[in-house]
Every structure is written in C-alpha cells, then in structure tokens.
Amino acid sequence: MKVYADRPVRRTAQVLSDVFAFGLLAFAVWLAVRVYDEVMRLRAPGDGLVDAGSGLRATFDAAADKAGQVPLIGHPLADALHSGSAAGTELADAGRWQITAVEDLAWWLAVLVVSVPLVFLLVSWLPLRWRFTRGATDAARLRRQGAEGLDLLALRALVTRPLPRKVRAGDLTTGWRERDPDVVAGLAARELAHHGLRLPAVDRVGPVTGTRAR
C-alpha cells in the first residue's frame, strides 16, 4: 500500500496533514476529558442533597423507632416522624436526579467536543488521503510490472490527463500505438506524477514532458 508520495514536496505536505489530523483529534479528546471533568464538578450540590436527605431520613427513622415504644402516644408520634423520613427520601431523590442530569450533560458535551473535529476530518482529510492511497497504490503496482504497466499508465494519461501544451494529440496517440519508448515513458511519467510518484530511472528524454523521464 502506497501511503505517501515519492516527491518530497507532496510527501511533506501529506505528513504535515496527517500530523495535523491526529493532533487535532488528540486535542479534541483531551479537551473533551477536561470538559467532562469540569461539568462533573456541578454534581457536588446533588451529592450534598443525597447526603442530607439520607441523613435526615436516618434521623427521623431512628426517632420514629424510639417514639413507637412510648405508651399510648407512641404510634401517632411515630407516624408523624415517618413523614419527616419521607421528606428526607424526597430530598435524596432530588439530589440523585441532579446528579444524573449533570452526568448526562457532561457525557453529551464531551461527545460533542470530539464529534465536531472528527466529522470535519471524516469529510475532508480522510477522503483525500483514501483517494490518494488507492490511486497511488494502483499506479505503483503498474509501475512494478515493467513495460506493460508503463504502457497502461501511458494509456491512462492519454484518457484522463490534460494534453501538454504544444503537443498534438495525434503525435501522442500514434506514438502510444506504436509503443514509442519516449512517448510511453513521457505519458507514464505524467500519470505517475499525478499520483505523486516517479518514473523508474531511464536514460531517455520523453517528448511529452520535455524533461528526463525519471
């Protein structure tokens, strides 16, 4: 699999884009953790309500148990104290509701912080890198096949690449049909250059590019 280009300038740009992408994702994860921790601090009042409600309920329950032992008025007094225990339960339930709300908010905010850069990378950086990797891998595979692979690369250039200036299409098509080495090498070099690759070193000048086909 061909992940990076052969040409230094394009390879450097790809490395920098990859570093930026992974750095952005790592920063988003770090920021999401920080946001989660900061929001979770808001659950402190809820914890306080749970503790206060639990303590209040325990106090009233203990008092109701003792009041129930008092002759004559024990049961009515115990029932009155149990109503205070119910208030403690409601207070603790309110605290738990607040804790749940804060935890949900912290979770979804963290997901949002990570999702925004992740979606950005999925719709911009990843398709570009995948398109390059797929095209460059196919082109590199053809390059390794020697003359037949270069011939197919030249055909791709004829079909998909813009014609060079001051070069007639008839000269290129005729040269390719006759398998002129210079024409084939020049066309193959153009196709490989589109994918950031280089032509294997040859000792002839390709008339399509006007430079040594390397």
pLDDT digits (tens, 9 = 90+) for 141-180: 988 888 888 888 888 888 888 776 666 666 677 777 878 8
Residues 118 and 146 in one domain: no
> Which of residues 123, 141, 170 is at a domain's end?
123
> Which of residues 82, 106, 123 is at a domain's end?
123
Residue in 79, 77, 73, 81 with CA at minimum distance from that of residue 56: 81
Residues 14 and 119 in one domain: yes
Residues 15 and 54 in one domain: yes
Instruction: List pLDDT tens digits, range 19-28.
Output: 999 999 999 9
Residues 46 and 139 in one domain: no
Q: What is the mean pLDDT of the chain?
A: 81
Residues 80 and 144 in one domain: no
Residues 23 and 86 in one domain: yes
Residues 15 and 101 in one domain: yes
Up-side HSE of residue 56: CA atoms within 13 Å toward CB?
17
The pLDDT-based confidence of 29 (bands split at 50, 70, 90) is: very high
What domain range includes position 199? 132-212
Left if phi > 0, otherwise alpha if psi is -120 to 50, otherwise beta: which for 165?
beta
DSSP, res 205: E
Tell me the C-alpha distance between 61 and 85, whole Å: 6
Residues 137 and 118 in one domain: no
